[in-house]
Amino acid sequence: MDSAIGTLKVIRKRILEVAFQAREGHIPSSFSILEILYSFYLRSSKLLQQNDCFVMSKGHAALGLYATLEHFNLIPREWLDSMCKFNSQLGGHPDMRKIPTLEASTGSLGHGLPYGLGLALGKSIKGENGSVYVLIGDGELNEGSNWESLLVAKHRKVSNLSLIVDFNESSERALSLGNLREKFESFGWRVVEIDGHSLDDLERFFTQVNSKPSSLPTALLAKTVKGKGIKRIENSPEWHHKTPSQQELEEFILELQ
């Protein structure tokens, strides 16, 4: 576990450095979901045959995804070094045409869950193994397309679909979501709540969601902190789409260490 925590600090440092070089990227959102991304791809890398699909609907947190893919050798280092430069493979949002390992091009909020629902239905119809995981931000639940998808998933008993909500309370600055557990359960979904920065909690979830099948789709409410790891960035709206100065970069790296 200590080794994994150290690895996550290295990935966070990489995110900071790339954001500084590119003058682009959503650092707080990337830090918020980093443990979720790391846990999913760590589990995937340990399986000999991987039939699961992952859709990161929260596309503006692309820098977190890119840094994780780089760590697991799914994209080359030079790609991230050139992020958002002319002719780069990596832009501000993930593009499946340029990154072969991705299931979807994302960033238009509210599209990831309907897309993932289609992938999960397709797997069921074709009799394929594997689950579909969709990661959204809690603020994305302001989009009505998500709630329509929740209804369809329950109606069609799409049990191979899991929705992971990065629950960092970003939505509270715009539109209060109220009790999310009650809302999801009222739509007929199985609900699991965890600490979204706990690698143990995440490992248990990814293991149990497959080992204990249900006739219901699953919603994981992952409680997180936006900007987790850097006190000045944590829960600060100022840093939503801000990149560090040279001095701030040095200070933040020292704080991580």
- Please tell me the distance from the alpha carbon of residue 116 to that of residue 121, in angstroms, as a whole number: 9
User: What residues does each domain of the chain span?
Assistant: 2-256
Spacing of C-alpha 31 from chain mean position: 10
Q: How far apart are CA 57 and CA 60, in angstroms?
A: 9
Query: Rounded to 5 degrees, what are φ and ψ at 55?
Result: -120, 115
Helix (H) or strand (E) holding 161: strand 161-167
d(CA 213, CA 200): 20
What pLDDT score was predicted for residue 213?
64
pTM of the model: 0.95
Cα 21 to Cα 111, 143, 202, 220, 226: the distances in Å are 30, 33, 31, 34, 22
Under CATH, which number does the domain 2-256 receive? 3.40.50.970
Please tell me the predicted confidence (pLDDT) of residue 211: 65
The CA distance from 86 to 95, in Å, is: 15
Return per-residue pLDDT of the chain as tens, 257 residues.
Answer: 678 999 999 999 999 999 999 999 999 999 999 999 999 999 988 775 568 999 999 999 999 999 999 999 999 999 999 999 999 999 999 999 999 889 999 989 999 999 999 999 999 999 998 999 999 999 999 999 999 999 999 999 999 999 999 999 987 777 888 999 999 999 999 999 999 999 999 999 998 876 666 789 999 999 999 999 999 999 999 999 999 999 999 999 999 98
